[in-house]
């Protein structure tokens, strides 16, 4: 079994990046939950799993999607596996949203507020990850490490 | 005045009789366990409100539900978090309860082993001895993904669990919280212990 201390350290380092300090699906700050997203079957071959950090409330909506779409983990309450941490490093909120919110602005839709009720969040999360209404797979080619350094400058 | 006192006497007599026959006054306290995302909070919400199923954020700390009724018995339940770091609390809450519900996501093949490990550890605990343990295989509405009872029994080594807990004290039920099906029989089974 991989050393939890080391894995958690890698997670905490990721959580320091500015884009990961806001929930991927609402404006809530300092999210401590994570959603591991299975790449849609029509994404480019060899596409690896990606993960985003989300808040407790939004993680509830992710759980309704089913594990064939996303799998929810807690940074503090769960132990992590190597592939799960790698998915977070491979993804991160900037990349996940470059993929799943690529067409959000042009759609005219707004993200839920951090005070939104459960059904409002669930509708948005389903539109974003299940129905893929704002999706553009081009984002999969983004190197998560380069967005991280960009974050650092901003 | 006299009529009233006769009426009251009769009433209390009837009440006593009713209770003696086991029709009323039964109460039960439950503890609901299982891995995260098995459906514990959603089941309790459904039992309490009778209605809609909606999404809940993960449960991070134990909380007690309001009273609800099932099979004419008043129940109160502890909803426990299922994430790894809070599982050590389960044991403390089992002590206070008259029955244990253990939920398994029947459609999550990848985590059945983890569920089995936790169930095994639980059944080995002293505090669980003699308590009825109902294993609820949830999400059976997912007809393609949900594993058969036979397969699950084999993989969780149900025969061993029965041997450890005593055949009469453990039972397994297929349920769907989403459809509101199956858990009624589990409550009927538990009712006989109270």
Residues B8-40: tens digit of each pLDDT: 777 777 777 666 665 567 899 999 999 999 999
Give the predicted TM-score (pTM) of the model: 0.84
Q: What is the pLDDT of residue B12?
A: 76
Q: Is residue B153 part of a domain?
A: yes
Binding residues of B for GTP: 34-42, 82, 138-141, 177-178
The complex scores an ipTM of 0.79
Contacts of B55 in chain A (CB under 8 A): 60-61, 63-64, 118, 121-122
Residue of B55, B81, B84 with shortest CB distance to A60: B55
Residues A18-30: what's their mean pLDDT? Answer: 97
Q: Is residue B10 part of a domain?
A: no
Give the mean pLDDT of chain A: 91
Residue of A33, A63, A79 with shortest CB distance to B84: A79
Residues B120-146: what's their mean pLDDT? Answer: 94
User: Domain residues for B144?
Assistant: 26-191
Q: Count of domains in chain B?
A: 1
Binding residues of B for Mg(2+): 36, 41, 59
Q: Is residue B33 part of a domain?
A: yes
Rounded to the nearest 5 percent, the helix, strand and coil shares of chain B are 45, 20, 35
Residue A2 has pLDDT above 80, yes or no: no
What chain B residue is nearest to A123 in terms of C-alpha separation? B55
Q: Which of B35, B45, B58, B115 to mutate to test the interface with A (most CBs of A within 10 A)?
A: B58
Q: Is residue B38 part of a domain?
A: yes
Range from A28-37, A136-145, B4-13, B118-127 carrying the lowest mean pLDDT: B4-13
Residues B55-67: what's their mean pLDDT? Answer: 90
Q: What is the pLDDT of residue B10?
A: 78
Range from A38-47, A141-150, B20-29, B173-182 carrying the lowest mean pLDDT: A141-150
Q: Is residue B5 part of a domain?
A: no
State whether residue B63 is helix, strand or coil: strand
What chain B residue is nearest to A34 in terms of C-alpha separation? B58
Question: Which of B20-29, B57-66, B73-82 shows the highest mean pLDDT?
Answer: B73-82
Residue B51 has pLDDT above 80, yes or no: no
Say whether B58 and A56 touch across the interface (CB within 8 A).
yes
Q: Is residue B11 part of a domain?
A: no
Q: Which of B34, B35, B37 to mutate to test the interface with A (most CBs of A within 10 A)?
A: B37
Residue of A56, A78, A79 with shortest CB distance to B57: A56
Which residue segments constitute the domains of chain A, with CATH numbers given?
A: 4-140 (1.10.220.150)
Q: Is residue B17 part of a domain?
A: no
β-pair type (A33-37, A70-74): antiparallel
Give the mean pLDDT of chain B: 91
Cβ atoms of A19 and A93 within 8 Å: the answer is yes
Q: Is residue B95 part of a domain?
A: yes
Range from A48-52, B5-9, B76-80 carrying the lowest mean pLDDT: B5-9
Identify the CATH number of the domain in which residue B181 sits: 3.40.50.300
Contacts of A60 in chain B (CB under 8 A): 55-58
The DSSP code sequence of A33-96 is EEEEEPPPTTSPTTPPPEEEEE-HHHHHHHHHH-TTTEEEEETTTS---HHHHHHHHH--HHHH
pLDDT band at residue A142 under the 50/70/90 scheme = confident
Q: What is the pLDDT of residue B20?
A: 65
């Amino acid at each position: 079994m991989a050393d939890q201390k080391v894995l958690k350290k890698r997670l905490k380092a990721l959580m320091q990046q500015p884009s990961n300090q806001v929930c991927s699906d609402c404006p809530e700050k300092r999210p401590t939950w994570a959603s591991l997203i299975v790449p849609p079957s029509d994404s480019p071959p060899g596409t690896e799993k990606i993960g985003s950090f989300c808040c407790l409330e939004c993680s509830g909506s992710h759980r309704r999607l089913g594990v064939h779409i996303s799998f929810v983990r807690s940074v503090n309450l769960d132990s992590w596996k190597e592939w799960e941490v790698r998915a977070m490093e491979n993804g991160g909120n900037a990349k996940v949203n470059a993929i799943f919110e690529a067409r959000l602005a042009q759609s005219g839709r707004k993200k839920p507020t951090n005070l939104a009720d459960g059904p409002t969040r669930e509708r948005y999360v389903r539109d974003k990850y299940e129905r893929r209404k704002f999706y553009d797979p081009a984002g999969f080619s983004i190197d998560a490490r380069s967005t991280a350094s960009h974050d650092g400058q901003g | 005045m006299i009529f009233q006192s006769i009426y009251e006497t009769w009433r209390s007599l009837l009440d006593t009789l009713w209770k003696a026959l086991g029709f009323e006054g039964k109460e039960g306290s439950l503890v609901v366990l299982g891995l995260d995302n098995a459906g514990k909070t959603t089941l309790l919400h459904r039992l309490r409100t009778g209605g809609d199923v909606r999404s809940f954020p993960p449960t991070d700390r134990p909380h007690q539900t309001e009273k609800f009724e099932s099979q004419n018995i008043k129940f109160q339940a502890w909803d426990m978090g299922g994430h790894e770091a809070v599982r050590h609390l389960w044991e403390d809450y089992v002590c206070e309860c008259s029955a244990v519900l253990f939920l398994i996501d029947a459609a999550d093949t990848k985590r059945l082993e983890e569920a089995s490990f936790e169930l095994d550890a639980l059944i080995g605990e002293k505090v669980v001895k003699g308590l009825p343990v109902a294993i609820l295989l949830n999400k059976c509405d997912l007809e393609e993904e949900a594993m058969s009872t036979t397969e699950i029994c084999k993989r969780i080594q149900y025969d061993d669990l029965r041997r450890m807990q005593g055949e009469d004290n453990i039972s397994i039920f297929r349920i769907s919280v989403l459809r509101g099906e199956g858990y009624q029989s589990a409550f009927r089974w538990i009712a006989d212990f109270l």
